[in-house]
Amino acid sequence: MTDIHYNHKEVESKWQQKWEADKLYRSVIDNSRPKHYALTMLPYPSGDLHIGHWYAMTPSDARARFMRMKGYNVLFPMGFDAFGLPAENAAIKDGVHPMKRTFQNIERMRRQMKSMGAMFDWEREAVSASPEYYKWTEWFFIQLYKMGLAYRKMSAVDWCPHCNTTLAREQVWGDDRHCERCGTPVIKKDLDQWFFRATKYADELLNFDGIDWPQTVKTLQTNWIDRSEGASVVFKTEIGNHDVEIFTTRPDTLWGATFMVFSPEHPLVNEITTPENKVAVEEYKTQAARQTEIQRGAVDKEKTGVFTGAYAINPVNQARIPIWIADYVMMSYGTGAIMAVPAHDERDFAFAKKYELPIVFVIQPEVKSDADGAEMNAAYVGPGVMVNSGMLNGTKVNTEKGRKNPGIAKVLDWLAKQGIGKESVNYRYRDWLISRQRYWGAPIPMVNCEIHGWNPVPDDQLPVTLPEDVEWRPTGESPLKLHPTWKNTTCPVCNGPATRETDTMDTFMCSSWYHLRYLSPHYDKGPFDPAEYDYWMPVDTYTGGIEHATMHLLYTRFFHKALRDAGIVEGHEPMLQLRNQGMVLGEDGDKMSKSKGNVIAPDVLVNKYGADSVRAYIMFFARWEMGAPWDSQGIEGAVRWVRRVWTLFTDSPTDSITDSRTGTDEVRKNLRRKVHQTLRKVTRDYENFEFNTIISSLMELMNEMYKAREAGAAGSAEWSEALEIYLKMMAPVTPHIAEELWAHLGKPYSIHTQQWPIVDEAATKEDSIELPVQINGKVRDRITVPAEATEDEIKSAALALETVQKFLVGREPKKVIVASRRLVSIVV
């Protein structure tokens, strides 16, 4: 086996088979060891594992292996997020059943994943499209329904005309609002839909206490939820006396509201519009519907709108103000109607200027004494004093939001006392739209009866399984609806004829709880085995892409909180620590895509270089959280490292011999120092997910070991220790070759169950230290002193320097300071 040439194919397949046969990566409850649940995002079974999967998974695997060697009982599971549109779109295109395609793809990808040599515990594999999984997805839906967290509502939804389905807000991308999956521009459509009341948890989701998540993800979620404090105030229409509620962040400007603007979709528009304005209003509504919200909301967009002919009464001063409709007011935010304060809001200002509406100044800057609406050429948005505001004149307002602003707090109290308005918080965050008009998803387990309305399917009838005999037609209706019999059932209340919900669930529902299914993927008395839950949860480290920040990573937090309130899970958060990897780009620096022809296929690389080299290169070529363009030349460096390690180990004496051939004391001591210094650094790097510097440290140590061997160190105890520590440090990165060389050293199988070596701090100490010497704050020289030198010894060594003597010219220095043994500072 001490081949000169390293045969990666033979070595890797040999160990993969042995590890599998020995169940080396099987994770079971073990109360004698601390547990570590390492979770990495599960793939969609697209059919081929791409380099991005490797980039996400193999460093996560290395980290999990490191934790295992550190003494943790590690759970590192893998599965497939197997429902979803692509399989169904493909079925429509070429007729292959999504179930067949999906399970074939899984088969293939599982094989590819095994080639990574990762420590996945395949006995815990969970596949969201299997009935034993989606039974519990359905069951969870019912639990949320029973808690009042699932409800049905008619609403205008985002609709992809190509995929023929509704999309959640998160699945609508870009300024042009296109479908996340197929790129088609999204339109609005009215449909009866199921929602989860995620907004109930909006405030709690803004709280990240107790979890170690990247600031970027926390910021993205915070901005996504977009909490905004203000007031809701009711205006009355002059005719019809309708209540119109508005949301404003500036209740202090109420006296400056000189008109109202309704969203063109506002339900009162038809009623209040006077006959002579009907035509113009209808025309305007039609053209507004053609635009996206982003286009409509752009600050610099030319403001347009039409007068409805109706008026409202401003409740603070009884002013009669006109009601307009304009597309810059969105039905999806606040109440869909605003009070317009042109003097202090830029959009309202532009609108008032264009349509010659009055501008009333109500916040006076403290410095600039006289300003008048008519002369303003921009809205004033700064701090100041309330004027033209009746009783509240003189109130100072700063630019803080909500109650934190004493002026606004005063206004809010006044409004409440007068019964005009109340404090209110508004979120951009919406309830989660669950319904999809598709086949390949978990059925929504609800039944509708003419007498008893909607009721959940009884537990003993779960899962509601998908029928296999369906027809593929892109009709906009789910094939479940077109199926001749599937939807017919009986009412759980009266047993009379009833129909099933034919929509399926958003696949993000399946991935919101997969970490729980891994605990016991075949358990049938509940979604998970409570004993497994108690031992393994919560997830200790979660790794995956940041692109999920406002989707999966937010859904799963909401879902956990809902399950907590249902008494199903414990704790406030499902995943304690999150780390995001960056992206591997094509060699051209662009995102990899088939159409650009810049896709790197891991299978080809594994075949050519071996999994260990691919893993090592992936960890080496970029800071993990940053990512970088792929570099086909660069991988040769990793390959060379692996080969040189092989040679170093197979081409050196391994037995301890204690004669003159083992190098000088100096050589052996230096080797040991370097080994333990590297170990300290590498340990820290594994802990911090700094994979690239692990590899560079190992490369550096290897060079030192070659030098030490030249100097005769091979065969010494220090040499043996170096070999052993070296293999342990590389084992998480390159598990196969490490196992092979471990066996070559005659050590007991398996290296992956060995304890992580402990740093001998004493051995890491340098013999001497070098310090810069400053004179009057400027570095003028350096000194080298023995590592154990005292402060006084360092001082006299510094003062003895020729450079220092020149500066002193015979005088005594004013001050000599040795700053934490790092720097000598002399003041002359």
Q: What is the DSSP string of 22-80?
A: TTTT-----TTS-EEEEEEPPPP--SS--HHHHHHHHHHHHHHHHHHHTT-EEE---EE
Give the binding range for ligand ANZ (CB under 6 A) out of 312-320, 338-346, 568-576, 776-784.
338-346
Near ligand ANZ by CB under 6 A: residue from 172, 339, 551, 738: 339
Radius of gyration of the chain (CA): 34
The verdict on 504 binding ligand ANZ (CB under 6 A) reads: no
The verdict on 329 binding ligand ANZ (CB under 6 A) reads: yes
Please say which residue, 253 or 504, places its beta carbon nearer to ligand ANZ. 253
State the minimum distance, in angstroms, from the CB of residue 253 to ligand ANZ.
Answer: 4
Please say which residue, 248 or 512, places its beta carbon nearer to ligand ANZ. 248
Contact call for residues 668 and 558 (beta carbons, < 8 A): no
Give the binding range for ligand ANZ (CB under 6 A) out of 264-272, 287-295, 328-336, 735-743.
328-336
Please say which residue, 76 or 247, places its beta carbon nearer to ligand ANZ. 247
Please say which residue, 194 or 262, places its beta carbon nearer to ligand ANZ. 262
Please say which residue, 267 or 476, places its beta carbon nearer to ligand ANZ. 267
The verdict on 421 binding ligand ANZ (CB under 6 A) reads: no
State the minimum distance, in angstroms, from the CB of residue 342 to ligand ANZ.
Answer: 9
Give the binding range for ligand ANZ (CB under 6 A) out of 147-155, 284-292, 337-345, 807-815.
337-345
The verdict on 330 binding ligand ANZ (CB under 6 A) reads: yes
Near ligand ANZ by CB under 6 A: residue from 8, 344, 736, 752: 344
Near ligand ANZ by CB under 6 A: residue from 6, 19, 139, 247: 247
The verdict on 426 binding ligand ANZ (CB under 6 A) reads: yes
The verdict on 341 binding ligand ANZ (CB under 6 A) reads: yes
The verdict on 405 binding ligand ANZ (CB under 6 A) reads: no
Near ligand ANZ by CB under 6 A: residue from 306, 338, 648, 730: 338
| Burial of 93 per CB tally in 10 Å (0-12, 13-18, 19+) | exposed
Please say which residue, 59 or 334, places its beta carbon nearer to ligand ANZ. 334
398 residue type, one letter: N
| Burial of 167 per CB tally in 10 Å (0-12, 13-18, 19+) | buried
Please say which residue, 248 or 697, places its beta carbon nearer to ligand ANZ. 248
Distances (CA, A) of 26 to 36, 70, 74, 119, 128: 14, 17, 9, 9, 21
State the minimum distance, in angstroms, from the CB of residue 328 to ligand ANZ.
Answer: 6
Please say which residue, 8 or 344, places its beta carbon nearer to ligand ANZ. 344
Sites for ligand ANZ among residues 185-244 (CB under 6 A): 228
The verdict on 412 binding ligand ANZ (CB under 6 A) reads: no
Could you give the CA distance from residue 616 to residue 702 in angstroms, rounded to a whole number?
15
Sites for ligand ANZ among residues 262-281 (CB under 6 A): 263
Give the binding range for ligand ANZ (CB under 6 A) out of 51-59, 249-257, 351-359, 762-770.
249-257
Could you give the CA distance from residue 528 to residue 37 in angstroms, rounded to a whole number?
15
Residue 763 backbone dihedrals phi, psi, to 5 degrees: -70, -20
Contact call for residues 75 and 67 (beta carbons, < 8 A): no
| Burial of 276 per CB tally in 10 Å (0-12, 13-18, 19+) | exposed
Cα–Cα–Cα angle for 302, 308, 310, nearest 5°?
135
State the minimum distance, in angstroms, from the CB of residue 247 to ligand ANZ.
Answer: 5
CA-CA-CA-CA torsion for 616, 620, 623, 624, nearest 10 degrees?
-10
Q: Among the residues of 376-527, which ranges form H helices?
A: 406-418, 479-482, 507-511, 514-517
The verdict on 345 binding ligand ANZ (CB under 6 A) reads: yes
State the minimum distance, in angstroms, from the CB of residue 363 to ligand ANZ.
Answer: 8
Could you give the CA distance from residue 654 to residue 744 in angstroms, rounded to a whole number?
9
Near ligand ANZ by CB under 6 A: residue from 27, 58, 253, 541: 253
C-alpha closest to that of 228 among 394, 427, 79, 46: 427
Distances (CA, A) of 261 to 328, 378, 559: 9, 19, 37
Q: How many residues sit in the footprint of ligand ANZ (CB under 6 A)?
A: 19
Footprint on this chain of ligand ANZ (rule: CB under 6 A):
228, 247-250, 253, 263, 328-330, 333-334, 336, 338-339, 341, 344-345, 426
